[in-house]
């Protein structure tokens, strides 16, 4: 399971990367693996204001559909348009070209509530039991 | 429960699920890849969870003619038929394939694993003829080798030539390496190929031979998308004991002329009255995937419900089976409600794609 250092993680299996007042987000390797072949990704448009835990979109695989939640409060500033034509990037490169949205970071303390790589790994191991 | 291939699935790192009490693979590498491998070349499916019931003795044919919808007594050895166990209301207790091993006295029924116990209880309760009914599910394993390359793989692995076999025929053949095999020209993918019943002890060896021969291991996920592309119904989703074969458009598997089977009076009455709903295919024009339980709308009126829905890995379009108002015709447009959106869809007679594709 690929869990890069330097990112923050949620219990719903989203990741965030802090980039100069904004955060970029997507779903984790574990999440894409559980979903299987991703065939549609729908993200709320730029300008949408979200509280932490609000649905920021949905990701759909052949088998299932699942909500994606905002890891932190903020406003959507950018949506990964490449996923419209190539949703499989979520499977092949979930931390890179498979990113889903960029959000303004409304409140830095939100980040402290998220897990680091080690804590997320421990969380996954716990969940597997 | 585990099939004899359980350790193979785990070794291949399959994503496993509990399927009606069975630990089964949903996919190994991915549903799309496995699906396309089956359409273009060959897919190998462990379907050992399926139930096998034998019905034998002097009373076998008269009994089966009363509980099944096809003409059983006239079946020749080596012939298979798709048929139903119906309740008195004409509802489908199970859909199954009956194999004639010995005309009049020996039959094998391949039933849905989730329905096997119910089927056995129903048949036992109806068995006034005293046919010998036996649950053979533990003894039999079942592999499905499906796809345009299945014949070549069969020839290479078993020296067995299936090219002259007609659909829904089977042969019993003894092999030195794998024991007695029942090789049947049937399947649930529309891609061609065979299904093989064999001893649970030799199933792993034959599985390995087929994979070495170039067949791609496929899970239940691809099995489901393959059957849906063909419009084949899944019991529990598209048909059940509240739906009749007439509503499901499966009249071909009911010999209404033969007289005297359970459910026949109800079907004759329904045929007289006319059906009010029918199982229809839907192809989605918008971007999105219909799922089970989604409502179908026409002119803002609810006209149906999706019973199976997914994306076609071949066409990339959303496809579904849905019970709709019987007045709705192929070619009509409907809206399918998917979460907070509606998807424009065309009522389309399956299959939604050709069964086999150029590699």
Q: What percent of chain B has pLDDT over 90?
A: 97
Helix (H) or strand (E) holding B119: helix B116-126
CA distance A49 to chain B (A): 18
Cβ of A91 and B32 within 8 Å?
no
Hey, is the C-beta of B219 within 8 angstroms of any chain A C-beta? no
- Given a contact cutoff of 8 angstroms between Cβ atoms, the answer to whether A50 and A40 are in contact is no
Mean pLDDT, range B38-64, rounded to an integer: 98
Cβ of B339 and A58 within 8 Å?
yes
Kindly state whether residues B165 and B39 are assigned to the same domain.
yes
B115: in domain: yes
CB atoms within 10 A of CB B220: 22
Hey, is the C-beta of B339 within 8 angstroms of any chain A C-beta? yes
Of B30, B288, B291, Cβ closest to residue A36: B30
CB pairs under 8 A between A and B: 38
User: Cα separation of B219 and B103, whole Å?
Assistant: 35
Domain boundary among B135, B150, B175: B135
CA distance A84 to chain B (A): 10
- pLDDT, position A8: 96
Domain count, chain B: 3
CA distance B196 to chain A (A): 27
Cβ of A40 and B27 within 8 Å?
no
Q: Is a pLDDT exceeding 70 seen at residue A96?
A: yes
What CATH number has the domain bearing residue B105?
3.30.70.1400
- pLDDT, position A112: 87
- Pick the residue from chain A with its C-alpha nearest to B319: A62
B269: in domain: no
Q: Is a pLDDT exceeding 70 seen at residue A48?
A: yes
B323: in domain: yes
User: Cα separation of B134 and B93, whole Å?
Assistant: 18
- CA distances B145 to B122, B150, B192, B314, B344, Å, are 31, 6, 9, 19, 36
Kindly state whether residues B174 and B106 are assigned to the same domain.
no
Kindly state whether residues B85 and B166 are assigned to the same domain.
no
Hey, is the C-beta of B155 within 8 angstroms of any chain A C-beta? no
pLDDT confidence bin for B359, thresholds 50/70/90: low
Grouping H, G, I as helix, E, B as strand and the rest as coil, residue B322 is strand
Kindly state whether residues B192 and B214 are assigned to the same domain.
yes
- Name the nearest CA neighbour of B249 among B318, B351, B115: B351
Order the strands of the B92-102 sheet from edge to edge. B80-86, B92-102, B106-111, B51-56, B132-135
Enter the tokens of residue B345: 């869809």
- pLDDT, position A129: 77
- pLDDT, position B151: 97
Q: Would the CA dihedral through B45, B51, B56, B59 be positive or negative? A: negative
B252: in domain: no
Q: Beta partners for B218?
A: B45
In residues, how long is chain B? 359
- Name the nearest CA neighbour of B296 among B331, B320, B330: B320
Domain boundary among B200, B230, B260: B230
Hey, is the C-beta of B30 within 8 angstroms of any chain A C-beta? yes
What CATH number has the domain bearing residue B282?
2.40.30.110
3-class secondary structure per residue, B197-253: EEECCCHHHHHHHHHHCCCEEECHHHHHHHHHHHCCCCECCCECCCCCCCCCCCHHH
Mean pLDDT, range A29-41, rounded to an integer: 95
What are the pLDDT digits (tens) for B271-282? 999 999 999 999
Grouping H, G, I as helix, E, B as strand and the rest as coil, residue A12 is coil
User: Cα separation of B155 and B242, whole Å?
Assistant: 43
- CA distances B66 to B30, B62, B77, B235, B255, Å, are 43, 6, 20, 21, 12
Interface probe with B: pick from A39, A40, A45, A62, most Cβ of B within 10 Å: A62
Kindly state whether residues B145 and B212 are assigned to the same domain.
yes
Cβ of B289 and A37 within 8 Å?
no
- Pick the residue from chain B with its C-alpha nearest to A42: B288
Q: Provide the greatest CA pair distance for chain B.
A: 64
Domain boundary among B100, B135, B170: B135
Q: What percent of chain B has pLDDT over 70?
A: 100
- pLDDT, position A77: 96
The one-character DSSP state at B261 is -
The one-character DSSP state at B258 is G
Cβ of B31 and A62 within 8 Å?
yes
Cβ of A36 and B311 within 8 Å?
no
Q: Is a pLDDT exceeding 80 seen at residue B259?
A: no
Q: Is a pLDDT exceeding 90 seen at residue A20?
A: no
Cβ of A36 and B310 within 8 Å?
no
Cβ of A62 and B26 within 8 Å?
no
What CATH number has the domain bearing residue B36?
3.30.1360.120
Helix (H) or strand (E) holding B349: none
Kindly state whether residues B68 and B121 are assigned to the same domain.
yes
Enter the tokens of residue B201: 């002890």
B19: in domain: yes
Q: Which domain holds residue B79?
A: 51-135
The one-character DSSP state at A6 is T
Please, what's the b/e burial string for B13-36 (b: 16 or more CB within 10 A of its CB; e: otherwise)?
ebbbeeeeebbbbbbbbbbbbbbb
- Name the nearest CA neighbour of B141 among B72, B56, B210, B224: B210
Residues whose CB is less than 8 angstroms from the CB of residue B179 and which lie 6 or more positions away in sequence, other chains included: B198, B199, B201, B202
Chain A hits for B37, Cβ within 8 Å: none
Strands, E assignment, chain B:
15-19, 22-27, 43-46, 51-56, 80-86, 92-102, 106-111, 132-135, 140-146, 170-175, 179-184, 193-199, 216-218, 277-284, 295-298, 301-311, 318-325, 333-338, 341-347
Q: Is a pLDDT exceeding 80 seen at residue A79?
A: yes
Q: Is a pLDDT exceeding 90 seen at residue A21?
A: no
Of B27, B287, B291, Cβ closest to residue A36: B27
What are the pLDDT digits (tens) for A106-117? 777 788 889 999
B257: in domain: no
- pLDDT, position B358: 76
Q: Is a pLDDT exceeding 90 seen at residue B230?
A: yes
Hey, is the C-beta of B287 within 8 angstroms of any chain A C-beta? yes
Kindly state whether residues B10 and B64 are assigned to the same domain.
no
- Name the nearest CA neighbour of A10 among A32, A27, A29: A27
Residues whose CB is less than 8 angstroms from the CB of residue B212 and which lie 6 or more positions away in sequence, other chains included: B157
Chain A hits for B316, Cβ within 8 Å: 39
Report the mean per-residue pLDDT for chain B: 97
Predicted complex ipTM:
0.86
Which string of DSSP letters, residue by residue, matches A29-58?
HHHHHHH-SEEEEEEPPTT-EE-TTSEEEE
Kindly state whether residues B38 and B119 are assigned to the same domain.
no
- pLDDT, position B139: 93
- pLDDT, position A105: 85
B215: in domain: yes
Taking domain A8-107, whether its CATH number is 2.40.30.130 is answered by no
Cβ of B225 and A36 within 8 Å?
no
What are the pLDDT digits (tens) for B134-189? 999 999 999 999 999 999 999 999 999 999 999 999 999 999 999 999 999 999 99
Cβ of A65 and B289 within 8 Å?
yes
Cβ of A62 and B225 within 8 Å?
yes
CA distance B155 to chain A (A): 33
Cβ of B221 and A58 within 8 Å?
no
Kindly state whether residues B325 and B280 are assigned to the same domain.
yes
Kindly state whether residues B77 and B111 are assigned to the same domain.
yes
Of B31, B225, B289, Cβ closest to residue A40: B289
What are the pLDDT digits (tens) for B213-227? 999 999 999 999 999
Please, what's the b/e burial string for A105-116 (b: 16 or more CB within 10 A of its CB; e: otherwise)?
beeeebeeebbe
B295: in domain: yes
Mean pLDDT, range B312-330, rounded to an integer: 97
Cβ of B289 and A36 within 8 Å?
no
Kindly state whether residues B150 and B127 are assigned to the same domain.
no
* Higher per-residue confidence, B48 vs B358: B48
The B residues from 295 to 334 touching A (CB cutoff 8 Å) are: 310-311, 313, 316
- Pick the residue from chain B with its C-alpha nearest to A91: B30
* Higher per-residue confidence, A64 vs A10: A10
Chain A hits for B313, Cβ within 8 Å: 37, 62
């Amino acid at each position: 399971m690929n869990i890069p250092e330097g990112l923050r993680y949620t219990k719903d299996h989203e990741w965030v990367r802090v980039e100069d007042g904004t955060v970029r987000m997507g779903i984790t390797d574990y999440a894409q693996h559980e979903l299987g072949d991703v065939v549609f990704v729908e993200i709320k448009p730029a300008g949408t204001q979200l509280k932490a835990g609000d649905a920021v979109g949905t990701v759909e695989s052949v088998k299932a559909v699942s909500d994606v939640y905002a890891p932190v409060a903020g406003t959507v500033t950018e949506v990964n348009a490449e996923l419209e034509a190539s949703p499989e990037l979520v499977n092949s490169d979930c931390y890179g070209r498979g990113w889903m949205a960029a959000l303004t970071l409304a409140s830095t303390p939100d980040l402290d509530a998220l897990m680091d790589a080690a804590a997320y790994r421990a969380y996954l191991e716990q969940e597997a039991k | 429960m585990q099939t004899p291939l359980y350790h193979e699935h785990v070794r291949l790192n399959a994503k496993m699920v509990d399927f009606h009490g069975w630990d089964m693979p949903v996919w190994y590498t991915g549903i799309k890849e496995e699906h396309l491998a089956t359409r273009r070349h060959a897919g190998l499916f462990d379907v050992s969870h399926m139930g096998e019931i034998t019905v034998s003795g002097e009373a076998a044919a008269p009994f089966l003619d009363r509980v099944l919808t096809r003409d059983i007594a006239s079946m020749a050895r080596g012939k298979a038929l798709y048929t139903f166990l119906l309740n008195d209301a004409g509802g489908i207790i199970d859909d199954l394939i009956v194999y004639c091993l010995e005309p009049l006295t020996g039959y094998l029924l391949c039933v849905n694993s989730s329905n096997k116990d119910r089927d056995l209880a129903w048949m036992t309760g109806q068995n006034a003829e005293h046919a010998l009914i036996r649950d053979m599910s533990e003894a039999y394993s079942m592999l499905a080798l499906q796809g345009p390359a299945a014949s070549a793989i069969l020839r290479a692995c078993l020296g067995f030539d299936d090219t002259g076999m007609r659909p829904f025929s089977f042969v019993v053949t003894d092999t030195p390496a794998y024991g007695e095999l029942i090789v049947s020209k049937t399947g649930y993918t529309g891609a061609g190929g065979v299904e093989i019943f064999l001893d649970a002890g030799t199933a792993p060896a034959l599985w390995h031979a087929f994979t070495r021969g170039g067949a791609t291991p496929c899970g239940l996920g691809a099995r489901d998308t393959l059957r849906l592309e063909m419009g084949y119904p899944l019991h529990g989703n598209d048909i059940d004991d509240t739906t009749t074969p007439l509503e499901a458009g499966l009249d071909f598997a009911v010999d209404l002329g033969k007289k005297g089977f359970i459910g026949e009076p109800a079907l004759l009455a329904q045929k007289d009255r006319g059906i009010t709903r029918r199982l229809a295919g839907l192809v989605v024009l918008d971007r999105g995937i219909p799922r089970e339980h989604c409502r179908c709308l026409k002119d803002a009126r609810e006209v149906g419900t999706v019973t199976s829905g997914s994306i076609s890995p071949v066409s990339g379009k959303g496809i579904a089976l849905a019970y709709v108002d019987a007045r709705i015709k192929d070619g009509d447009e409907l809206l399918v409600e998917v979460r907070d959106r509606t998807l424009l869809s065309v009522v389309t007679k399956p299959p939604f794609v050709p069964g086999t594709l150029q590699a």
